[in-house]
Amino acid sequence: MSKPTIIDVAKSILSAAIGVQSNKNRERDFQHGSFSSYVIGGVIFTIVFIFAIVFIVSLVL
C-alpha cells in the first residue's frame, strides 16, 4: 500500500467523524498515514464544523 493522499486523509477524517470507517481504510491509515496529518485535518474539520453549526443556528434564530 502507498501513503494516503490528502483526499484519502479527508475521507478518513469524515468517515471517522460519522463512525463508518472501513477496516481496510483504518488499517491503511494506521500503517501508512502520518499522525500529524490526521491531527491537523481533525482540528480543521472540528473548527469548520463548529462554525457551520453556529452559522446554521444564527440563521434559524
Task: Express each pLDDT in 1-59 by its tens digit.
Answer: 678 888 988 989 999 888 888 888 888 888 888 888 899 999 999 999 999 999 999 99
Model pLDDT, residue 54: 97
Model pLDDT, residue 58: 96
Q: Is residue 1 part of a domain?
A: no
What is the tally of structural domains in the chain? 1
Q: Is residue 50 part of a domain?
A: yes
Model pLDDT, residue 44: 94
Model pLDDT, residue 1: 63
Residue 55, domain extent: 6-60
Report the distance separating Cα 10 and Cα 21, nearest Å.
12
Report the distance separating Cα 54 and Cα 61, nearest Å.
11
For residues 9 and 41, is the Cβ–Cβ distance under 8 A?
Answer: yes
Q: Is residue 47 part of a domain?
A: yes
CA–CA distance from 1 to each of 12, 25, 26 (Å)? 16, 11, 13
DSSP letter at 33 equals: -
Cell 452559522 maps to which residue?
55
pTM greater than 0.85 (yes/no): no
Distance of CA 14 to the CA centre of its chain: 4
